[in-house]
Structure 1
Amino acid sequence: MKKVLLLITIFASLLACSNDDDSSTPSNNIPDDLPDVSQVTFTSPTTITNNYFGPKTTGTIYVYEAGDIGEEPEEEIRIEIRTNTKTVMGVTCFIQHDVVYKDGILIEDTDDWIAEDDNGNLWYFGESVKNYDDDGDFEDNDGSWEAGIDDALPGYWLPIAPYVGQTYHQEYWEDEAEDYAEVLSTNETVTIDLGTYQNCLMTKDENPFETGEYEIKYYAPDIGFIKEEKYVNGALVEMEQLVEIIE
């Protein structure tokens, strides 16, 4: 059984330093709705039971299409679970592999590091990102981060029992990665090309560094993420939806 003690260590160190320096410390900036990873255990972190996540096992690929409203989809996104794992902050994470193609050319290749605690909450421990230009040439690793490095901390990928009004940070790396979500509904009916899904989770996801932009995401029970709507200044501008499950 593993118990992550990073935050306790951070807080203890900051308290010790406060005797000599009354200036503000990083701990003052940690959001109140950042889940406390030091208070949970990860006995079987790569076993996925969270009802709103998918795919849960290797060998299954989720295929999505995305594009601007009013236009034909220009992006294809493929998501699957890798067979290998990644250890972050002492926790063994499963790896969600996410690739994005634009007009058939690879433009992004990402590994997300996720672990499930003993209560069923899914934690987001970071990601490794490779970005490519429109010709398929490597550009950079912008967007990459890892919990436990440079004071970055994990947050919820998905809580086990979301409720309307709940807010939670998905990550916290000050001034770099501070995405957060709010639960808007847990009983949405959502129709996509694959069918109609009942009792869906609906969240509003925001990045504080992208003013006026937010995403509405939908998760179907026993399936996972099925649809995303992107809004800019209140206007719907992009949509992504699940179009195929390959098993």
Structure 2
Amino acid sequence: MRNKTIWPVLGAAVLLAGACSQNQAHHDDCVHVVDESTGRTAASCLPLAPRSDRVDLAQPHFTHPGRITNPLHPTSRVTQTIYGGQESGKPFRTEVTLLPGTRTITWGDRTIHAVTSQYVAFSAGRVEEVADDWYAQADDGSVWYLGEDVFNYDHGVVADTEGTWQAGRGHAPGAMIMPAHPHKGDVYRTENLPGVVFEQVTVRAVGKTVDGPYGRIRNAITVHELHMDGTTEDKVFAPGYGEFSTGSAGGDLEAVSLAVPTDAERSPVPAGLAALGRSVRTARTDPAPATVRAVYEAWDAYRASEAVPALLARQMTRDLDTWRTAPQDRAAALRTEQNTTDLLLRHEPLRTVDRARLALWARQLEIDARARDAGSVAGDVTSLELVRQREDTPGSAALTADLKKAREAADRKDTAAAGTIARQLTQDMAALR
């Protein structure tokens, strides 16, 4: 859901962007377009809204920054949101999770203890981008974006950290990401360091009703977002979820599959869902045509007995169709188990679901190590580490030690050692229960 345009701009371009930024503060004359293919700053300017339309110009004050209760960006109230869809023709899935603790941000003369949100994006089931995003709510109820640590992955390995920024560093200001009470025509900048990061948002409509994972949602808003490369896109924000959808079902799409506690239900895991989980785990261990068909049968039985969010149902059916056609397809098998684990969120605490995810990635680590796929092994270890990062207590010393060993094996591309450690990790996780 990020769609940011951030470039390592070279000397003259930086000076140009800096001069433009200084001028921007007074007149909104020009924010230069940055060409997406080259990263170079163009002479042309973005079609900015007039300064008089902006609602992010007053200096925010932060008395209780960690209490983010704005219904359209409820960062401190939603523990995890799962997004799904497709991007560039590949299945796309995102986990956005509230992390324990805070990040101290010094912005001018303000010291702000910001909430940290972990963003993990998967393309075709594999980790593609990770970011820690920092948010704070001002006293007027508006929510401010104070920066992010970004890691972009290529075949399991960090390719770059482009996109990292923090309010107060390099003259970067904090940026409003949601007004307290948005109105049609409001304009604000969710990133505002021209030449490095920049997005301008215009509210197009308020009071909308949208289809949610488990029913209709009122008082959503739609916005139009202008990026630094001149491209635009429309987004929906919905109460209880925050950023709700981007794109359309026919093209690139990123939309909420479900969120907790918004969609949580106080009921035990349904028997059909438990049976589905068992069949998926069996088939991933023994991906024969018969065991994969059994997963499809379990999915049909569960779906007939329990309401399933439309987007997640569509993704599950797509991945199962792929897996049934090619039982040895490791990516389809992984995505199917990810979908199944997501469904547990409605019935189990996040901590319990994350332990199921740890077990999922330990199994995947063993599968990829057996295939001698060093890149996937590295990505599996990263995924284990990211889930582990969400724990609010140190937990098992054995698990911590074995995760460190797994990282060392992945870094030296020792897939045989990684496979051995994967089996030990599975035992560590069984001990947690």
Quote how far apart the aligned CAs of 1:238 are.
1.2
Quote how far apart the aligned CAs of 1:225 are.
2.1
Q: Which residue of 2 aligns with 1:156?
A: 176
Q: Which residue of 2 aligns with 1:195?
A: 215
CA contact (8 A) 1:152 1:174 kept: no
For residues 179 and 68 of structure 1, the distance between their equivalents in structure 2, rounded to whole angstroms, comes to 20
Q: Which residue of 2 aligns with 1:170?
A: 190
For residues 27 and 195 of structure 1, the distance between their equivalents in structure 2, rounded to whole angstroms, comes to 47
Quote how far apart the aligned CAs of 1:25 are.
7.9
Quote how far apart the aligned CAs of 1:191 are.
2.0
Q: Does residue 1:64 correspond to 2:64, yes or no?
A: no
Q: Tell me the C-alpha RMSD between the 2 structures.
A: 2.2
Q: Which residue of 1 aligns with 2:246?
A: 228
**One-letter code aligned to 1:67:** Q
Going from structure 1 to structure 2, the CA distance change for 1:189 and 1:42 (only over 3 Å counts) comes to: same
Going from structure 1 to structure 2, the CA distance change for 1:132 and 1:100 (only over 3 Å counts) comes to: same
| Stretches of structure 2 lacking an aligned partner (at least 5 in a row) | 1-18, 29-50, 260-344, 350-433
In structure 2, the residue corresponding to 1:226 is in which secondary structure?
Answer: strand
Q: Which residue of 1 aligns with 2:104?
A: 87
Per-residue CA distance 1:34-88 (angstroms, 9 max, x = gap): 7246x32111000111011235337x2110102149x6x6111001111121111
Q: Which residue of 2 aligns with 1:242?
A: 256
Q: Which residue of 1 aligns with 2:418?
A: none
For residues 55 and 43 of structure 1, the distance between their equivalents in structure 2, rounded to whole angstroms, comes to 17
Q: Does residue 1:128 correspond to 2:146, yes or no?
A: no
What TM-score comes out, normalization by structure 2 length? 0.46
**One-letter code aligned to 1:155:** A
For residues 192 and 117 of structure 2, the distance between their equivalents in structure 1, rounded to whole angstroms, comes to 19
Number of residue-to-residue matches in the alignment:
212
Q: After the TM superposition, which residues 179-194 of structure 1 pair with which residues of structure 2 at under 5 Å, given as runs?
A: 179-194=199-214
Going from structure 1 to structure 2, the CA distance change for 1:170 and 1:55 (only over 3 Å counts) comes to: closer
Q: Which residue of 2 aligns with 1:103?
A: 124
In structure 2, the residue corresponding to 1:52 is in which secondary structure?
Answer: coil
For residues 54 and 161 of structure 1, the distance between their equivalents in structure 2, rounded to whole angstroms, comes to 13
CA contact (8 A) 1:34 1:170 kept: no
| Stretches of structure 1 lacking an aligned partner (at least 5 in a row) | 1-23, 231-235
CA contact (8 A) 1:43 1:117 kept: yes
For residues 141 and 57 of structure 2, the distance between their equivalents in structure 1, rounded to whole angstroms, comes to 15
CA contact (8 A) 1:116 1:123 kept: yes
CA contact (8 A) 1:55 1:80 kept: no
Largest Rg, 1 or 2: 2
Q: Which residue of 2 aligns with 1:18?
A: none
Q: Which residue of 1 aligns with 2:160?
A: 140
For 1:75, which of 92, 109, 112 is the aligned residue? 92
In structure 2, the residue corresponding to 1:178 is in which secondary structure?
Answer: strand
For residues 215 and 75 of structure 2, the distance between their equivalents in structure 1, rounded to whole angstroms, comes to 17
More RCO (CA 8 Å, sep 6+): 1
For residues 25 and 208 of structure 1, the distance between their equivalents in structure 2, rounded to whole angstroms, comes to 13
Quote how far apart the aligned CAs of 1:147 are.
1.2
**One-letter code aligned to 2:255:** Q
Q: Which residue of 2 aligns with 1:29?
A: 24
Quote how far apart the aligned CAs of 1:27 are.
3.0
Greater percentage in helix? 2
Q: Does residue 1:118 correspond to 2:139, yes or no?
A: yes
Quote how far apart the aligned CAs of 1:26 are.
4.7
Going from structure 1 to structure 2, the CA distance change for 1:34 and 1:120 (only over 3 Å counts) comes to: closer
Over the matched positions of the two proteins, sequence identity in percent amounts to 25
Q: Does residue 1:53 correspond to 2:73, yes or no?
A: yes
**One-letter code aligned to 1:80:** T
For residues 101 and 194 of structure 1, the distance between their equivalents in structure 2, rounded to whole angstroms, comes to 24
For residues 29 and 109 of structure 1, the distance between their equivalents in structure 2, rounded to whole angstroms, comes to 31
In structure 2, the residue corresponding to 1:29 is in which secondary structure?
Answer: helix
Greater percentage in strand? 1
Q: Does residue 1:215 correspond to 2:233, yes or no?
A: yes
For residues 125 and 36 of structure 1, the distance between their equivalents in structure 2, rounded to whole angstroms, comes to 15
Going from structure 1 to structure 2, the CA distance change for 1:238 and 1:208 (only over 3 Å counts) comes to: same
**One-letter code aligned to 1:202:** T
